[in-house]
């Protein structure tokens, strides 16, 4: 119902579109200046509001570029702070955002920073790093990255797209032409030729050579407060209480639905800051349920918000796990995708691996 009510906002979308188009043209024509840096800067972004898999792609790049001293710079969506902050042992989802906290926990050798002004952030990082990965900065036109990867959720190609506020597009679809690489994320693992062609037709022929497809790979479940792990087959016969605060929980619902006959979903908005009342509701529902074999599962991103001291104690004695994911680039094009990234970084490098050697 809400989807159809949003169509009443189409006149405002037209106005919004005019403003965005004019702004982009002023940058394209040089009236508004963009800053470019002399070290590799890779931007990961999308055209819509909401999740399209930016964090798994950022993690893929970190693993691919492990020979370099890498910094990840994010706006830190949902944080309660402002300005430039480096992630450290005292960082929380409230201070730096859930996705930067996830990066910090997973990659101890990588610098993670947040700053709403990405130009300022790069200035503060550039002298001690070989390259910088920007999380969600495609519309940050004050900055001109050296390489842009633009992501598209596979399912979005099967429904009409409108500009904000009637739809979720941040800018007109043709904005993809500014990107160096286009990637369709969350594709079926066994992508058919018909499905691939359906997505490909959305892009002009000139840009199709730089279009790649990726799917989600789920790994063993990890306990939130211990070193315990659990394979997917360990869910067979269990009732699952699923806690999510992400833009699109459909993929994880599909994955868990193939392993369990009963999923009780506690669903919240993207980046929802969980409060004690949310967790009390979950815990009470879990304890009342008559099933003998039951488990609480959340996403890796949501897990970062559950470490908050105000709610952590509510969950300590419960079987709560998170489900890690990685992306898998379509096998026949993976080498080309990797080479594009590696060649860009190598060609742009300032031969500053001395920072890695010092550490």
Q: What percent of the chain has pLDDT over 70?
A: 96
The CATH code that applies to domain 220-323 is 3.40.50
pTM reported for the whole predicted model? 0.93
Considering only the C-alpha atoms of the chain, give the largest distance between any 2 of them, rounded to a whole number of Å.
66
What mean pLDDT comes out for the span 294-318? 92
Tell me: pLDDT of 356 over 50.
Answer: no
Tell me: pLDDT of 353 over 80.
Answer: no
User: DSSP letters along 54-87, please?
Assistant: HHHHHHHHHHHTTTS-EEEEE--TT-S--S-EE-
Write the CB contacts of 147 (distance below 8 Å, at least 6 apart in sequence).
40, 41, 42, 43, 180, 181, 341, 344
> Tens of pLDDT along 155-208?
999 999 999 999 999 999 999 999 999 999 999 999 999 999 999 999 999 999
- pLDDT for the residue 8: 84
Token code pair at residue 150: 């633009």
State the Cα–Cα distance between residues 347 and 27, nearest whole angstrom.
26
- pLDDT for the residue 309: 79
Domain ranges of the chain: 32-217+328-358, 220-323
- pLDDT for the residue 87: 98
* Confidence category of residue 350, pLDDT binned at 50, 70, 90: low
- pLDDT for the residue 4: 65
DSSP run (H or E) holding 345 = helix 331-348
| 181-185: strand order across its sheet | 85-86, 111-114, 70-74, 131-135, 41-46, 147-153, 181-185, 211-218, 325-329
Identify the DSSP state of 118: H
Nearest by Cα to 170 from 49, 33, 19 = 49
* Per-chain mean pLDDT for the chain: 93
Tell me: pLDDT of 358 over 60.
Answer: no
Tell me: pLDDT of 352 over 60.
Answer: no
- pLDDT for the residue 308: 86
What mean pLDDT comes out for the span 72-100? 95
* Confidence category of residue 2, pLDDT binned at 50, 70, 90: low
What mean pLDDT comes out for the span 275-293? 96
Tell me: pLDDT of 218 over 70.
Answer: yes
Q: Does residue 134 contact residue 43 with C-beta atoms inside 8 Å? A: yes
CATH architecture of 32-217+328-358: 3-Layer(aba) Sandwich (3.40)
Q: Does residue 179 contact residue 149 with C-beta atoms inside 8 Å? A: yes
Tell me: pLDDT of 50 over 90.
Answer: no
* Confidence category of residue 135, pLDDT binned at 50, 70, 90: very high
């Amino acid at each position: 119902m809400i989807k159809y009510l949003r169509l009443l906002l189409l006149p405002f979308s037209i106005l919004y579109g005019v403003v965005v188009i004019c702004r982009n043209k002023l940058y394209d024509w040089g009236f508004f200046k963009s800053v470019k840096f002399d070290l590799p800067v890779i931007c990961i972004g999308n055209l819509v509001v909401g999740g399209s898999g930016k964090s798994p792609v950022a993690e893929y790049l970190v693993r691919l570029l492990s020979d370099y001293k890498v910094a990840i710079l994010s706006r830190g969506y949902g944080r309660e702070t402002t300005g430039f902050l480096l992630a450290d042992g005292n960082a929380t989802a409230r201070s730096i955002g859930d996705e930067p906290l996830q990066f910090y926990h997973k990659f101890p050798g990588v610098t993670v920073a947040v700053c709403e002004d990405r130009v300022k952030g790069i200035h503060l990082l550039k002298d001690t790093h070989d390259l910088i990965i920007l999380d969600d900065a495609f519309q940050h036109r004050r900055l001109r990255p050296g390489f842009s990867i633009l992501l598209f959720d596979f399912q979005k190609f099967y429904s009409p797209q409108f500009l904000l506020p009637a739809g979720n597009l941040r800018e007109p679809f043709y904005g993809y032409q500014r990107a160096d690489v286009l990637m369709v994320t969350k594709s079926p693992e066994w992508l058919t030729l018909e499905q691939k062609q359906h997505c490909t037709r959305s892009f002009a022929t000139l840009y199709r050579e730089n279009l790649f497809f990726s799917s989600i790979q789920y790994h063993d479940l990890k306990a939130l407060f211990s070193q315990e792990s659990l394979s997917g087959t360990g869910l067979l016969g269990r009732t699952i209480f699923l806690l999510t605060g992400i833009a699109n929980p459909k993929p994880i619902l599909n994955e868990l639905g193939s392993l369990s006959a009963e999923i009780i979903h506690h669903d919240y908005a993207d980046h929802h800051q969980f409060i004690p009342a949310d967790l009390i509701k979950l815990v009470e529902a879990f304890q009342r349920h008559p099933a003998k074999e039951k488990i609480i599962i959340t996403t890796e991103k949501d897990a970062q918000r559950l470490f908050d001291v105000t709610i952590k104690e509510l969950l300590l004695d419960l079987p709560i796990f998170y489900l890690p994911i990685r992306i898998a680039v379509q096998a026949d094009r993976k080498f080309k995708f990797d080479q594009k990234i590696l060649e860009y970084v190598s060609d742009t490098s300032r031969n500053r691996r001395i920072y890695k050697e010092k550490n």
